[in-house]
A and B are shown apart, each in its own frame.
Chain A
Amino acid sequence: MKWLSKTYVGLVLAFLYAPILVLIVFSFNQSKSRGAWTGFTLGWYQKLFTNDTIIQALINTMFVAVVSSVVATALGTLAAIGIANMKKWQRGLVMNVTYMPVINPEIVTGVSLMLLFVFLRSVLSYLNAKFGWNLQLEFGFVTLILAHITFNVPYVILNVLPKLRQMDTFVYEAALDLGCSPSQAFFKVVIPEIMPGILSGFLMSFTYSLDDFIISYFVAGATSQTLPIVIFSMTRRKVSPEINALSAIIFVVVLAVLLAVNLYDSRREKENRMKARARA
């Protein structure tokens, strides 16, 4: 029975990792075609690092991810605090709408945002004509970041709200009684208390933003190609093994980050356990 379950787990893991392994192996293949192995080379990596389009796309992706996840975290944290104080029906209404970008198919979100920006453009051109303004909304970084914030905020709220609920409200009141101003109490008491939620919300929206293709595809412009969009246009052309090299690098980076986070977590947990034992 034991070997059976072990084989099963092994098979599933093989299923999950085989394609990635294939990509990595073929990134060292000399031949341009996927068909045959003709020899070892690092040439595709070299080519990748001198590929301006990809480097630019990487910079764009990071920029959009950082800006959108920071804004989303601020917006989402404040929202969560406000929502926690809402009456039940208000909270229900707001949370239902908040869930929309999470449960809606991404393509519908993408299409709806695209229609919104088209609509806003026509509103702007009407206003420009009427008041002689010169406001522009180009499909590009602005639309991309707005869209990313929109699908990121719900994840922040969903991460922060439970922490707020767990929080003892008397702690905040105690801080006020002890002479804190409301803003001091907020920053010194409430924020540290819900910090884990804020952090995980931030990380989640950062990674979603890095990885998003479908919504970006609908709202990106000519100058704001993110990495997933560039990858998409790469897969639609004569495929260069650079794409394999890129996958290998992304995999290694992700692995390193996850390992680091995991190590940090487990060390902290061990410390906590030690502390708890010491207290006992």
Chain B
Amino acid sequence: MKKILMMGAAICLALGLSLPALAAVQVEDEAYYTRFKGQGKSINVHNWGEYIADGSDGYLDVVKEFEELTGIKVNYTTFSTNEEVYARLRNGGANYDILVPSDYMVARMIREGMLEKLDFDNLPNFKYIDESFHNPNFDPTNEYSVPYTWGTVGIIYNTMMVDEQDLGSWDLLWNAKYMKNILMFANPRDDFGIALKRLGYPMNPENPQQLQEALELLKEQKPLVQAYVMDEIFDKMIGGEAAIAPYYAGDAITMMQDNPDLGYFVPEEGTNRFVDAVVIPTCAQEKECAEMFINFLMEPEVAASNISYIGYSSPNNGALAIMPKEITGNKIAYPDDEVIAKTEGWIDLSPEMNLAVDAAWTELLSTDEQYSRWLIPIMMLVCIIMSITINVSRAYRKRRDRKYADQLPPRTR
């Protein structure tokens, strides 16, 4: 415990920060942040699991700092896939003020009118965002989103369990040597993207034919896969439960800190480069407070501590400037240009392709055994027939018994 605290203190000093317990975050424009104080406002933030510094290991507790600074209460909840957020939102059930979906989901939500336009006058800190992230292809006019993090997908492996000569390519995930030691994503886009890449297609399927081939490839891989998981990967890889897992670069860094036996590489075929962006859905009730939270996330000091904790890569120049070289110089989070050159971003698929991907995903996870589709109706029919037979035979027997009883002398009845 003490050791962790010391380590945290050291990191904070290295960051040029004061210990969070001693002093609050320094912000440029305090009046901006305190204008809603005492009005009992609250916002609902829905973010990925393990995706914000929570005060552990000596980093800032971002949510708590924000609450103390602004007096706005934050209800913080987590999700584990983009599709889950989409489903919750589409059901109309959720009253979130802030979401952090990935690029392609942002595009889909914009297309379906699920997002609110941001007021960039309320987001002065947007000036820190690197220009290469302005007007991204998922939000071409840059009206709806602010980038939170970016990163690439690579393969994490356990050096004690995997031979060095097997590394280098996506083929590793199809290597029968590691049967039942491979973990895969529990979301359709990442898995299909990998399969498509291995087939030499673009990671965003262009037609149903490509998707079908990718599905066949993933089905072929299925016997080798131990489980389809998301953030459970942390425990599995750190604990040595599995040997190989494709996952996000930032999380790979976190895992490698906890288990020095882990290694990471970006497959030579190229990979996906994603951007996770902060957006405000149309169901938001406290838009200005939400914008304030987004602005707070872009404060260099906050972003620096936040990014250092979650390990992903930052689009925030202000943060990058004050982060220690060990982090910004990490080739996993900030890969060389040659690696970046071979990456592809997600794009929003057409509604038909989205449906096809969903169906293919469900098919992948259904069992391999084949049964006639009439089996269930037949079972129902059998149940009905049995139920009727039992009823009829009972009624018949009852009548017979009664008849028999009628013939008996009254006393024995």
Contact = CB atoms under 8 A, between A and B. Distances in A.
A–B direct touch, CB within 8 Å, in complex?
A: yes
Contacts of B95: 138-140, 221-223
B93 A239 contact: no
Nearest to B230: A236
A222 B93 CA distance: 9
A236 B232 contact: yes
Nearest to A229: B77
Interface string A131-142: 000000011100
B235 A239 contact: yes
B47 to A, nearest CB: 11
Interface string A237-264: 1110000000000000000000000000
A148 B214 CA distance: 43
A233 B78 contact: yes
B319 to A, nearest CB: 23
A43 B166 CA distance: 42
Interface in B25-70: 42, 44, 46, 49-50
Contact of B76 (A32, A53, A118, A236): A53
Interface in B215-257: 230-232, 234-235, 238-240
B1 A222 contact: no
A222 B75 contact: yes
B50 A118 contact: no
A34 B258 CA distance: 13
B238 A114 contact: no
A205 interface: no
A117 B88 CA distance: 13
B80 interface: yes
Given A34-B239, A138-B95, A223-B75, A237 B50 contact: yes
Interface residues of A, number: 26
A117 B91 CA distance: 9
A139 B92 CA distance: 8
Interface in A146-198: none
Contacts of A41: 1
B77 A233 contact: yes
Interface string B257-275: 0100000000000000000
A121 B44 contact: no
Contacts, number: 64
Contacts of B46: 222
A33 B94 contact: no
A234 to B, nearest CB: 9
Interface string B1-43: 1000000000000000000000000000000000000000010
B96 interface: yes
A144 to B, nearest CB: 11
Nearest to A32: B258
Contact of A222 (B50, B91, B96): B96
B76 A238 contact: no
Contacts of B80: 236-237
Given A43-B1, A117-B93, A237-B231, A223 B49 contact: no
A219 B80 CA distance: 18
Given A34-B239, A140-B95, A237 B77 contact: no
B93 A221 contact: yes
A114 B75 contact: no
Given A222-B46, A233-B49, A236-B80, A35 B92 contact: no
Contacts of B231: 236-238
A262 to B, nearest CB: 38
Contacts of B1: 41, 43
Contacts of B77: 222, 225, 233
B44 A238 contact: no
A179 to B, nearest CB: 47
Contacts of A33: 235, 238-239
A164 B160 CA distance: 69
A43 B93 CA distance: 37
A235 B93 CA distance: 23
Contacts of B78: 233, 237
B243 to A, nearest CB: 16
Contacts of A43: 1
Contacts of B239: 33-35
A140 B44 CA distance: 12
B76 to A, nearest CB: 7
Interface in A24-63: 32-35, 41, 43, 53
Contact of A139 (B94, B230, B238): B94
Contacts of B258: 32
B73 to A, nearest CB: 10
A34 B44 contact: no
Nearest to A36: B239
A20 B95 CA distance: 37
A43 to B, nearest CB: 6
18 contacts: A33-B238, A114-B93, A118-B92, A118-B93, A121-B92, A139-B91, A139-B92, A139-B94, A221-B93, A222-B95, A223-B44, A236-B49, A236-B80, A236-B232, A237-B80, A237-B231, A237-B234, A238-B234
Given A33-B235, A139-B92, 15 more contacts: A121-B92, A139-B91, A139-B94, A139-B95, A140-B95, A221-B93, A222-B46, A222-B77, A223-B42, A223-B95, A236-B80, A236-B231, A237-B50, A237-B232, A238-B234
